[in-house]
Structure 1
C-alpha cells in the first residue's frame, strides 16, 4: 500500500509500505476513504519534535476489510470512524469518560500511521464506531473531522463548561479552535469570542457561531476580553494552540471561578505556579477522549445538524501530501483533507 513517511523535518514522502495485518484478535483492518493532516503534525515537520522515517497520520474514516476473531461491534463492510487514541472502552477510566487515558491507551500514529491507504486499528470494539449506513460522499469530510478535531474541540468546550448563559472565549483559530466554537454554539453558549487575526478563519468562526472577534494577542488580548465582559473575563475559555503566549492568554482571559479547557498540544510551556494559584480558576485538558463523544457526534453529522467538514479548505490526493504540509505550515490552509 501507499503511506506517508516523514524522513526528517520538512521532508515528507509517499512510499510503498507493507499492508497492515491482523496481529491481535481484537484488531481490525480498514481501507481508508479519507484522512488528513493535523496541526500537531506540524511540530515534527518544523523540527520541534524528533522525527526519523516516521509513518504519519492519526485521523481516519473508512471501510472495514478484516476483523480479528474477538471483534464484535464492527463487521467487514461497515463504514467506521475512529478515535486518534486506542481504547478498550471498558476499563474503569474509559467508563469514567476518559478513553484517552485508557489502560490500553496508545496513539494510532504509533501503531499504524493513517496517512495511508489502509490501517490496523487495535481494540477495534473500543476505538471504532460504525455509522448508521454507508454515508453520502458529502458527509465524509465531516465524519473525518469527528475522528480528532471535532471531538477535541467538543471536549475542550465541555471541559470549559460552555453552556447557556455563558460567555466563551476561544484562543486559537486553527481547526480545533474552530470546532470548539461549533461545540460552544451547540452547547448553548450565549456569547462566543473568537481570537483570530485571519479574515478567512474569522469567516469560518462566524459560520460556526462566533459572535465577537478579537484580533489582539497576549496581554492586549486579555485586556480586550475583559473589556468585552465588564472587566471580569470569560466564564469559559478554550486554549487550542499550545504556546506559552496562548496558554498565559487563556489563563488571563478566564474570570475568577471560571473554567479553562486546554487541548493545544504544547511544547515547553511553563505555567508560573503563583499566577495559576491566584487566578482561582478550574482547569481540565489534555488529549481529548474523542471516543466518549463519537456516537453523539456521528449522529449529529448524519442528521445534518452540524457541518464540521467545512474546516477542510484544501483537498488533495495522498500522492500530493507534501504540498498539503507546506500549505498548512505557511497558513495557506486551515486543514488539508487527503484522499488515499
Structure 2
C-alpha cells in the first residue's frame, strides 16, 4: 500500500540494505514520495495484474520479502501470490476480517509474520537517523490541521487527499 505505513516500509527496506524496492501505488504524489524514500520500481496494477507485474520485475520468481500494509482480503492474497516460494511477508496492516485459505498459504511456501512491532527496540537507532538527517520520515505528513479539525483530517486521508495528517494544538 502507499499509505504512511507502506511508504515508511519503503524507507525501512532501503535503510536495511534492500537493493530493489517495489512500491505499489496509483497516486502520483505518493509515487514521488516512494521514489524519494528509495523505491526502485512502482507498480500501479492491482490484483492478478499487480502480481504479474511484480513477477515480471523479479524474473518470474516474485518478491523475496513483502510488506502487506493495507489489511484487506485482496491485499493479503496479492501479497501471498507476489512473494516467491520461501519468501517472507510481514503483515503490518491491521487485518479487516481477512480469511486465508489453508491450502493456498501452505502451497505458496511463504512465511507470514505479523503482530505489533516492538517500537521501543528500534527507537534509539531511528531517532539517531532522524537527528543526523539521514532519513525524513516526517515527509508522510502532508497536511497540517488544528486538532479541532481532526474529523476533516480523517476525511482527507480517507479520500486520498492526504497521506498523514499532523494535528496541532495551536
TM-score range, shorter chain: over 0.9
Which structure shows the higher helix fraction?
2
Pairwise CA distance, 1:318: 0.9
Q: CA deviation at 1:273?
A: 0.5
Q: Secondary structure at the match of 2:161?
A: coil
Of the structure 1 ranges 321-330 and 261-270, higher mean CA displacement relative to structure 2 is found in 321-330
Match of 2:113 in 1: 284
Measure, in 2, the Cα distance between the counterparts of 1:180 and 1:211. 13
In the alignment, the residues of structure 1 paired with residue 101 and residue 168 of structure 2 have an alpha-carbon distance, to the nearest angstrom, of: 43
The CA deviation at 1:322 is 1.8
So what's the TM-score if we normalise by structure 1? 0.49
**1:77-226 equivalences in 2 (<5 Å):** 172-226=1-55
Hey, what's the Cα distance between the residues in 2 that align with 1:309 and 1:234? 27
Deviations 1:284-304 (A, max 9, x none): 112222111111111111111
Indicate the SS of the match to 1:313. strand
Residue 258 (structure 1) aligns with = 87
Counterpart-to-counterpart distance in 2, 1:254 and 1:325: 32
| Larger Rg belongs to | 1
Question: Per-residue deviation at 1:238?
Answer: 0.5
Partner Cα separation in structure 1 for residue 103 and residue 62 of structure 2: 19
Partner of 1:119: none
What is the deviation of 1:283?
1.5
Matches within 5 A, 1:12-27: none
Query: Deviation at 1:261?
Result: 0.7
Aligned to 2:125: 296
Alpha-carbon distance in structure 2 between the residues aligned to 1:257 and 1:178: 24
Return the match for 1:312 from 131, 141, 145.
Answer: 141
* Deviation string, structure 1 residues 42-63 (Cα, Å, up to 9, x no partner): xxxxxxxxxxxxxxxxxxxxxx
Task: Determine if the alignment matches structure 1 residue 336 to structure 2 residue 168.
Answer: no
Superposed CA offset, 1:293-331 (max 9, x none):
111111111111110000000011112212211111111
CA offsets 1:22-71 (integer angstroms, 9 cap, x no match): xxxxxxxxxxxxxxxxxxxxxxxxxxxxxxxxxxxxxxxxxxxxxxxxxx
Please, what TM-score do these two structures have when normalized by structure 2?
Answer: 0.97
Aligned counterparts of 2:9 and 2:108: Cα–Cα separation in 1? 23
**Residue 10 of structure 2: SS of its match in structure 1?**
helix
Runs of 4+ aligned structure 1 residues displaced above 2 Å come to: none
Counterpart of 1:117?
Answer: none
Unaligned runs of 5+ in 1: 1-171
